[in-house]
Amino acid sequence: MAERLTLRNVYLYVVCLVTLVISIFAAVQLVQGVVGIAYPDPGVGYVGDPTLDDEEEQRLAEQSLDSQRRYEVISVVGAGTTLLIAGPLYVYHWRRIQSERAAAPEVVPTA
């Protein structure tokens, strides 16, 4: 089956490619964010700083952990939003391609 390449076909395939790549990167970022929330990086910390007492050291460590979790939550929300936008765009354009291919008359090559 020979398919005629049109500007519309190229547009649909390019949109599918771009939204698929964006979705893959967003999914990776989403997983990294969830892992970052579940297992935060202990970071450099303030252990052994002679100018800090134990209470202040603990407070700074908790503040650092809270800051990192906040960053990861914002990252997860951003990645999830990207997936919610790019995913349906990909599905819509891919279905358009499939429906147009199914509706197109089959071209029989002549010899």
Per-residue pLDDT reduced to its tens digit, 25-72? 999 999 999 999 998 877 665 556 677 787 888 888 888 888 889 999
pLDDT-derived band of residue 1, with 50, 70 and 90 as boundaries?
very low
Is residue 1, in this structure, part of any structural domain at all?
no
CB 19 within 8 Å of CB 93: yes
The structure's pTM equals 0.76
Looking at the domain assignment, is residue 36 inside a domain? yes
Has residue 2 got a pLDDT over 60? Answer: no
For 96, the domain range is 24-43+52-103
Flag whether 111 is in a domain.
no
DSSP one-letter string for 42-73: --S--TT-TTS-HHHHHHHHHHHHHHHHHHHH
Domain presence at residue 8: no
Number of domains in the chain: 1
pLDDT band at residue 3 using 50, 70 and 90 as cut-offs: low
In a domain, 13, yes or no: no
Rounded distance, CA 75 to CA 34, Å?
9
